[in-house]
Amino acid sequence: MNADAPLLLISERLTEPRAAQLRLELPFEQRSRSRFRARLQSGEEVGVVLTRGQILRGGDLLLASDGRVVEVSAASEWVSTLRASDARLLARLAYHLGNRHVALQIGEGWLRYSHDHVLDEMARGLGAELTVEQAPFEPEAGAYHGSDHGAAHGGDAAHGGHHSGESGHSH
């Protein structure tokens, strides 16, 4: 790649289906950002500048500054996948993970989150069958999707004002 070549800019999300010429494979953490640099599968470097509060999902289409269409795909990353045949246990696991504001993907009989050994121990203690694996991670958008209170806010200062009568969490 030529170091003097201008950076390809991606700043528009397409809402209508179009044929993609390029592919951008990203982990969830990067798909949660509105501004970042990345490399297309072709090796070309891009700068992504999107409206804040949007999470890119596998299959989303973006428009590059040169008119080419870029398809987003979810990269495989280290995740913990919990399985339970008992719906009540699965609901308990989802409750406890949600109470910790963990970004969570929900499937038929399973839950998935970014691998974390502390959460793994909690899940095992509750009775979950747990597998640590590499897989695409597409968590739920969350009740606050579209605002600054994203699914993975990480305990930021803006969070405190959303629960009236609370001075902090007592998880």
**Domains along the chain?**
8-74 (2.60.260.20), 76-136 (3.30.70.790)
Q: Are the CB atoms for 55 and 150 separated by under 8 Å?
A: yes
Tell whether the model's pLDDT for residue 7 goes beyond 80. yes
CA triplet 158, 161, 163: central angle to 5 degrees? 130
Specify the pLDDT at position 168.
Answer: 41
What is the value of pTM for the model shown?
0.76
Using the 8-state DSSP alphabet, how is residue 134 labeled?
Answer: E
Model confidence pLDDT, tens digit, residues 103-153:
999 999 999 999 999 999 999 999 999 999 999 999 998 765 544 433 333
Specify the pLDDT at position 2.
Answer: 54
